[in-house]
Amino acid sequence: DAKTTQPNSMESNEEEPVHLPCNHSTISGTDYIHWYRQLPSQGPEYVIHGLTSNVNNRMASLAIAEDRKSSTLILHRATLRDAAVYYCILRDVRRYGGSQGNLIFGKGTKLSVKP
């Protein structure tokens, strides 16, 4: 799978938007971009995923660059509860399912939210 690069840490203020960047310059046309997050003392939690178009759900928005070499996870109004490690993961859609369904996690970005 193609590799992703994320900043080690970021800080945000409560109730302000947060933009978490992810670079994936070697992404292939069949790679989905997934975001998961891990709150302290909890298991990872799915946030959002997309292929080419920007995506929105109740948790966040995913903005994908036109060349797909980078993406940004957007939390519209950060809360203290959003303090977590955010993982950007690429997964080849041709390898979904079966023996290739597992996700490979990197180091992620540790987001701190200040009140």
Partner 1 sequence: DSGVTQTPKHLITATGQRVTLRCSPRSGDLSVYWYQQSLDQGLQFLIQYYNGEERAKGNILERFSAQQFPDLHSELNLSSLELGDSALYFCASRRGDSGANVLTFGAGSRLTVL
The one-letter amino acid at 94: R
Residue 8 sits in the site that holds partner 1 (CB under 8 A): no
Chain-centroid distance of CA 22 in Å reads 7
Considering CB under 8 A, how many residues would be counted as binding partner 1?
24
Question: Would you tell me how many other CB atoms lie within 10 Å of the CB of residue 57?
Answer: 11
Span interacting with partner 1, options 15-23, 62-70, 75-83, 106-114, rule CB under 8 A: 106-114
Given candidates 49, 55, 61, 110, which one binds partner 1 under the rule CB under 8 A? 49
Rounded Cα–Cα distance for residues 3 and 99 (Å): 20
Give me the residues that bind partner 1 (CB under 8 A), please. 32, 34, 36, 42-46, 49, 87, 91, 96-108
